Amino acid sequence: MINVTKAYLGDIDKFKTYVEGIYARGWLTNHGPLVGELEQRLKDYLGVKHVILTNNGTLALQVAYRALGLNGSAVTTPFSFVATSSSLQWEGVRPIFADIDAQTWNISPEHIESRIVSDTTAIVGTHVFGNPCAVERIEEIARRRNLKVVYDGAHAFAVRHAGKSVLNWGDISTLSFHATKLFHTVEGGAIITHDDEVARRVHLLCNFGIADVDKIDGIGINAKLNEFSAAMGLCILDDIENILQQRAEIAHRYSASLGDYVDLQKAQDNSQLNHSYYPIALSDESQLLRLRSALNTNGINPRRYFYPSLDTLEYLQPQAAQTTSRALSERVLCLPIYPGLKLEDQERVIATVIAECSRAHTPYQLRNMANAI
Ligand SMILES: *Cc1c(COP(=O)(O)O)cnc(C)c1O
């Protein structure tokens, strides 16, 4: 089966060398040297001020909300992985959904303002599939309305906007280093901030609030990354340019072949993407379901990201229906993209999509396509 993604594994001998070092030191976790080395290398690679590694991307979000003192409610996107909202609710911050932009698929600045209520303390956006949010406009709204901004950057590793890492925007951006992500540490994540005081609080929160051997400074949790995970990250970071290059080639091949048959996410202006996913939007849910079973029959396992739209989740009710997000979530399917995806397998995916989507073309569309050729 060709899956939507495949965990990247770097050179095993390099990994073994790191593991031998861990055995020699007997230092397995609690801010070991490999965690320190990975934090430093990520700061340099991403060009950000503080990187605090965590044991997954969901705890990174939870700690971020705590570190910024969020309470009341937060305006957030219904078109994201469930963790963006569930982590808010888990931390006692009520998610209020603002609809997404139909082109970029990110939270729409036009909708954010009207959703802010008296107890709103933050805007929480997701750079969906690595496409940067309208960060400048969100920053302007947040400044004017005195709100914190958190970006769930789980998809945005190595994504650049206006000449720098998109993770530089917001009071905090978070990353997920889950095995399925573009860059991973098996399980892991990170908190990115440019604020020294926020970074200090994040460090405390991630380590039980322990400030010193004899001092506990407030409530904390255990969000530490371990040395074995850091070793995996160090190995993969060595290969990152090759990973990005292979993903870009696969993405460009898809776009060149499928652009006339399906709708694609519109890239944010002035941005350099990472092709962490290859989402397509079908004409409607029934076409999506037909395509998915045709792909399954051909040994291909695409995934519906993100479905359902989070404003439909029972434990987050009551919510106003976010119509653009609901409609899009019924149409989006992510196609396989990962380093090592074989050309013949990608061609099978493309052929299956074209076969399914040309059947659904109207005579008018077919005539236009013929003219274009
Ligand atoms: C993967 C993901 C998360 C959760 O990260 P974990 O490391 O799996 O906890 C959060 N948000 C988004 C958008 C994700 O894709």
pLDDT tens digits along 194-208: 999 999 999 999 999
Contact 156, 166 (CB under 8 A): yes
Determine the average pLDDT of the residues in 165-182.
Answer: 98
Q: Compute CA distances 275 → 130, 203, 279, whole Å.
A: 7, 31, 10
Tell whether the model's pLDDT for residue 372 goes beyond 90: no
Query: Does ligand 1 lie within 6 Å of residue 151's CB atom?
Result: no
Distance CA 169, CA 175 (A): 13
What integer best gives the mean pLDDT of the chain? 96
Residue 364 reports pLDDT greater than 60: no
> Cβ(150)–Cβ(61) under 8 Å?
yes
- Any long-range contacts for 85-91 (C-beta under 8 Å, 24+ apart)? 85/310, 85/313, 85/316, 86/58, 87/58, 87/61, 87/62, 88/61, 88/124, 89/315, 89/316, 90/62, 91/62, 91/65, 91/66
In our burial notation (b when 16+ CB lie closer than 10 A, e otherwise), range 241-278 reads eebbebbeebbebbeebbeebbbebeebeebbbbbbbb
Q: What is the pLDDT of residue 169?
A: 98
Pairing of strands 160-161, 300-301: unpaired
- Does residue 43 register a pLDDT over 90? yes
**CATH (residue range 2-238):** 3.40.640.10
Determine whether the shortest distance from the Cβ of 81 to ligand 1 is under 6 A: yes
Q: Is 222 exposed, middle or buried (CB count within 10 Å of its CB: 0-12, 13-18, 19+)?
A: exposed
Tokens of 342: 């074989």
Averaged pLDDT for residues 303-308: 96
Question: Is the pLDDT reported for residue 296 higher than 90?
Answer: yes
Domain with CATH 3.40.640.10 in the chain: 2-238
Query: Residue 298 has which token pair?
Result: 């051909």
- Quote the CA–CA distance of 155 and 106 in Å, as a whole number: 12
DSSP 191-211: EEES-HHHHHHHHHHHBTTEE
Question: If you average pLDDT over residues 152-162, what whole number do you get?
Answer: 98
Q: How far is the CA of 24 from the centre of ligand 1 (A)?
A: 33
Q: Which pLDDT score is estimated for 97?
A: 98
Counting from 1 in the atom list of ligand 1, the atom nearest the Cα of 59 is 9
pTM of model > 0.85: yes
With pLDDT > 90 as the criterion, what percentage of the chain qualifies? 95
DSSP state of 98: -
56 CB within 6 A, ligand 1: yes
CATH 3.90.1150.10 for domain 241-371, yes or no, is yes
Q: Is the CB of 80 under 6 A from ligand 1?
A: yes
Confirm or reject: Cβ of 349 under 6 Å from ligand 1.
no
Q: Is the pLDDT of residue 362 over 60?
A: no
pLDDT band at 277 (very low <50, low <70, confident <90, very high): very high
Q: What number of CA atoms fall less than 13 Å from residue 121's CA on the CB side?
A: 13
Question: For residue 274, how far is its CA from the centre of ligand 1 (angstroms)?
Answer: 16
User: If pLDDT is split at 50, 70 and 90, which confidence band does 366 have?
Assistant: low
Residue ranges, comma separated, of all CATH 3.90.1150.10 domains in the chain are 241-371
| 3-state SS track over 21-84 | HHHHHCCCCCCCHHHHHHHHHHHHHHCCCEEEEECCHHHHHHHHHHHCCCCCEEEECCCCCHHH
pLDDT of residue 371: 64
Res. 127: pLDDT tops 80: yes
pLDDT digits (tens, 9 = 90+) for 48-67: 999 999 999 999 999 999 99
pLDDT of residue 359: 72
The number of the ligand 1 atom at minimal distance from the alpha carbon of 61 is 10
Per-residue pLDDT reduced to its tens digit, 128-137: 999 999 999 9
For the cut 70, the answer to whether the pLDDT of residue 369 exceeds it is no
11 pLDDT band (50/70/90 cuts)?
very high
Q: Which helix (DSSP H) or strand (DSSP E) does residue 246 occupy?
A: helix 240-258
For residue 33, cis peptide bond before it (omega within 30 degrees of 0): no
Q: Work out the average pLDDT over 33-53.
A: 98
**CA dist list (Å): 190 to 7, 37, 52, 225:** 19, 14, 5, 9
The finding on whether 126 has its CB within 6 A of some atom of ligand 1 is yes
Residues in the chain: 373
Residue 365, pLDDT > 90, answer no
The confidence band for 143, taking pLDDT boundaries of 50, 70 and 90, is very high
| pLDDT of 373 above 70 | no
